[in-house]
Amino acid sequence: MNKQRSRRVTAAISLVSALALTATACGDDGSSGGGDKGDAGTGKGKIVFWDNNGGVRTAVWKEIIAGFEKANPDIDVEYVGVSATEYQSKVETALQGGGLPDVGGVSTTMASAFVLQNALEPLTARYAKSPLKGELNEGFVESVQAAVDEGDAMYTIPTSANNGVLYYRTDLFEKAGLPEPLTWDAFYRAARKLTDAKKNAFGYTIRGGAGSIAQAFDAMYGQSGITSFWDASGKRTTLNDPRNVAALEKYAALYKKVTPSADLNNDFTKMVAQWDQGTIGMVNHNLGSYQDHVKAFGADRFRGIPQPTGPGG
């Protein structure tokens, strides 16, 4: 991962390739890291792997690593699981004080900042010569290239993609006589109607802690209908467009009116756990929490749909 620790690059890239192919099939997102033994190109030594979604995906990565070590008996992989909410700060601390892994999970939202700090080894040439070339979805490849805005340069290997999902309790909606929250108007109406704070029932749970920007962006652009993060000049973002500002203010105003007060500090794990308790009508997350909801409710008491649409569709 760190350019100053690139003596294990060849072995590390082998691990990335093996993990990426397997993890894509598993729908995971991560990578790995290197250790202290072995010289570049020897194919021997230790690779320290920082998983950027530790706990949630640990079992998957342990299985992948076991297969890799069996195929590469001279390489040991040290797995370090880091929770998604703590990962970026852990990397930032390591950047300042040393101790970065050889390989680590890097999402597209983090990639640009890490590249600017000279933390990532370019993978463009290695990817072009690797067995992965031509095997990855081109949209995935373009997304990691766009994340660092250096043309065709690649600093990460895409292993998965995810999409925002609005989950809603079909049984609660049916009982209240509510239609699916397919539009933002229907979403807001349902959030109000399903709320009865005295009975600890709420229409929605809003993500207020770490990672909340993802849901905020979905709500802003989903309501405003603005289709680009950049204006026509390509030099300024559309974040401060009055339509986005109004949309975010309306969304944020849901807090404590139709949501639990604990939402202010809830990261995704707390938000998901709170929804799975069964007294909240809707939650905005992604496909990663689907199995948690199945365990909580069974597959027939909730549904996940794309983000609601505005007047313009």
Encode pLDDT of 175-226 as tens digits. 999 999 999 999 999 999 999 999 999 999 999 887 788 889 889 999 999 9
Closest among 301, 302, 283 to 165, alpha carbons compared: 283
**What domains lie within the chain, and their CATH numbers?**
3-148 (3.40.190), 164-305 (3.40.190.10)
pLDDT category at 15 given cuts 50, 70, 90 is low
Hey, CA dihedral for 115, 61, 137, 166, is it positive or negative? negative
pLDDT higher than threshold 60 for residue 246: yes
In DSSP notation, 27-89 reads T--------SSS-TTS--EEEEEEETTTTTSHHHHHHHHHHHHHH-TTEEEEEEE--TTTHHH
pLDDT higher than threshold 80 for residue 285: yes
pLDDT higher than threshold 80 for residue 265: yes
Q: How far from 40 is each of 9, 34, 97, 198, 306, CA to CA, in Å? A: 6, 11, 23, 63, 46
Residue of 273 and 5 predicted with greater confidence: 273
Give the whole-angstrom CA distance, residue 94 versus residue 29: 21
pLDDT category at 4 given cuts 50, 70, 90 is very low
Encode pLDDT of 99-131 as tens digits. 888 888 888 878 888 888 888 888 888 888 888
pLDDT score recorded for residue 313 = 59
Residue of 19 and 33 predicted with greater confidence: 19
Whole-model pTM over 0.75: no
Q: Is 195:227 a contact under the CB 8 Å cutoff?
A: no
Encode pLDDT of 194-204 as tens digits. 999 999 999 99
